[in-house]
Structure 1
Amino acid sequence: MTSKREAVSRVAVLVPTYNERDNLPPIIARLRSSVPDADLIVLDDNSPDGTGAVADELAAGDPRVRVLHRAGKEGLGRAYLAGFALALQEGYDAAVEIDADGSHQPEQLPALLSALDDADVVIGARWVPGGEVRNWPLRRKVLSVGANLYTKVLLGMKVNDATAGFRAYRTSALRAMGLDGVESQGYCFQIDLTVRAVRAGLTVVEVPITFVEREVGVSKMGKDIVREALTSVTRWGVTHRVGQVRSLLERRSAQSLVRVEDGGAVGPGTENVGRKP
């Protein structure tokens, strides 16, 4: 993409929810205060605790708040893909990912949106200078740092926090990334989109954020999500490295062929060609 980018004026902030009725009102209030000109779209997966009804009440009192009711719990990835599709369909300039539990600070969102001036994708990163994580046990920090390092090395990317879920995308970037084939969830969903952005030649920028562990409710992170991420990243990494080796071998083969053609054939019966008797 060109270095000169169009200004971002219409922003859709996507807030996926599943059993977040107590967290939703304060996070919506903080978002309205931090980015008053943005539209907030709650993506509720038919939460049994009544989160959808709470979202409807918030939307009824604020024209900047909308609710997309989904049939059931299909996971974070599918919720965001539905939100992206809506943002693309309605002509937004940018779409934002943010958790409903307060772990992502709405007050830091303006910094992410500002960074879009020189980027296609902006990641609110924890594992960069200036980034911070609060209220996490050591075990979870080690897991996150290890997962990101594994991803970075295996996939050959410069991104330090590919699993981060606080992000801003230009909608032009979403189109370029080719989202039709995305099926992954959780950690893996964020990694998948990061890989697609990098492979598409988009400019990905990381902005340091402070991540605060939720105080209300239960984390949706489970062993299945971690297992999916490990399996998928390993598969993608092996494919990436095999492709690199194949490309290297093909280049060397082509270079060898060029040298032979430039120098002429050398073999039995040709030793004296061009020599004086």
Structure 2
Amino acid sequence: MRESRSTLGRVVMVMPTYNEADNLEWLVGRLRAAEPEVDVLVVDDGSPDGTGDIADALASRDPRIHVLHRSEKAGLGAAYRHGFAWALAQGYDVIGEMDADGSHQPEELHLLLDAIADADLVIGSRWVRGGSVINWPLRREALSRGGNAYVRLLLGMPVRDATAGFRLFRSATLEKIDLAQVTSTGYVFQTDMVARTLHAGLTVREVPIQFVERVRGQSKMSGAVAAESMRSVTAWGLRERRRQLAGLRPARLTRAFSRRA
């Protein structure tokens, strides 16, 4: 039975930052205006540009804004794991993630909140029907589409945008997949979390969003980062195929997946 949005409980969006001083106040303000009942957790990896100080100032004025300070830049996955663990300890019922550069529009968060009512993980997807990207060169779009196609092929999961970073997890989902056992630190963390959710037999939905390329600050994505992610996916895929051939575990990913377009 579909759960009412009003019964979702406490929601927090986790937002890792590194040198986002130009974007943070603007983006958090939009998020608080769009979804006043949603809390915000900024996880700053010791930004030298003062991002952490801006986050502290925002938190001092708004009790729904929280900040975790980390001593060094240790990767996107590491920041999310830290933020998720904090949110679980604080008793949040729904724990989300979004970029701090403005590429994920807070005004579209309601789409994910509606979908989590009958899902365990919701992904704001660029590559389902109705999704789009703004101001991306063709090469960047081809890289993302191709990378996601490779993930589907190697890991056997029918998710169109497994690398997306605009998401909502139920806290029970993070507990069931045992967050403490996740070791991914970089951008491949996103794919890892989808695979673990599906392997646990949980429901994943994708909803279309409009992804907007950042207009301020420096992107953290690079060719080296993408290549490292693909190496990890290749290793996981080969291991999964060996397990299937050995009859150790049946493929369960497709049965747990549902897409909403």
TM-score by length of 2: 0.91
Question: Could you tell me how far apart the structure 2 residues matched to 1:235 and 1:42 are?
Answer: 32
Gaps of 5+ in 1: 251-277
Question: Could you tell me how far apart the structure 1 residues matched to 2:173 and 2:210 are?
Answer: 25
* Cα displacement (A) at 1:89: 0.5
Q: Does the 8 Å CA contact 2:122/2:204 hold for their aligned counterparts?
A: yes
Bigger drift between 125-134 and 239-248 goes to 239-248
The equivalences for 1:63-82 within 5 A come to 63-82=63-82
Question: Could you tell me how far apart the structure 2 residues matched to 1:98 and 1:53 are?
Answer: 20
Counterpart check, 1:98 vs 2:98:
yes
Question: Could you tell me how far apart the structure 1 residues matched to 2:167 and 2:90 are?
Answer: 20
What number of residue pairs does the alignment pair up?
A: 248
SS of 1:187's equivalent in the other structure is: coil
- Could you report, residue by residue, the CA deviation over 1:168-188 in whole angstroms, capped at 9, with x for unpaired residues? 000000011122232223431
Question: Could you tell me how far apart the structure 2 residues matched to 1:240 and 1:145 are?
Answer: 22
Alignment correspondent of 1:236: 236
Question: Could you tell me how far apart the structure 2 residues matched to 1:82 and 1:164 are?
Answer: 19
Alignment correspondent of 1:160: 160
Question: Could you tell me how far apart the structure 2 residues matched to 1:49 and 1:224 are?
Answer: 24
* Cα displacement (A) at 1:4: 6.6
Counterpart check, 1:83 vs 2:52:
no
State the identity as a percent. Answer: 55
- Could you report, residue by residue, the CA deviation over 1:105-141 in whole angstroms, capped at 9, with x for unpaired residues? 0001111011111100000000000000011111111
TM-score by length of 1: 0.86
Structure of higher CA gyration radius: 1
Alignment correspondent of 2:115: 115
1:114 aligned partner, one-letter code: D
Question: Could you tell me how far apart the structure 1 residues matched to 2:73 and 2:13 are?
Answer: 20
Alignment correspondent of 1:208: 208
2:94 aligned partner, one-letter code: A
Question: Could you tell me how far apart the structure 2 residues matched to 1:242 and 1:95 are?
Answer: 34
Counterpart check, 1:189 vs 2:185:
no
* Cα displacement (A) at 1:227: 1.9
2:17 aligned partner, one-letter code: T
Question: Could you tell me how far apart the structure 1 residues matched to 2:143 and 2:33 are?
Answer: 34
SS of 2:188's equivalent in the other structure is: helix
Question: Could you tell me how far apart the structure 2 residues matched to 1:86 and 1:185 are?
Answer: 17
- Could you report, residue by residue, the CA deviation over 1:70-90 in whole angstroms, capped at 9, with x for unpaired residues? 111111111110110011101
Root-mean-square deviation (CA, aligned residues, Å) is 1.7
Question: Could you tell me how far apart the structure 1 residues matched to 2:35 and 2:17 are?
Answer: 20
Question: Could you tell me how far apart the structure 2 residues matched to 1:176 and 1:156 are?
Answer: 21
Q: Does the 8 Å CA contact 2:96/2:168 hold for their aligned counterparts?
A: yes
Higher relative contact order (CA 8 A, sep 6+): 2
Question: Could you tell me how far apart the structure 2 residues matched to 1:206 and 1:67 are?
Answer: 29
SS of 2:49's equivalent in the other structure is: coil
Q: Does the 8 Å CA contact 1:44/1:67 hold for their aligned counterparts?
A: yes
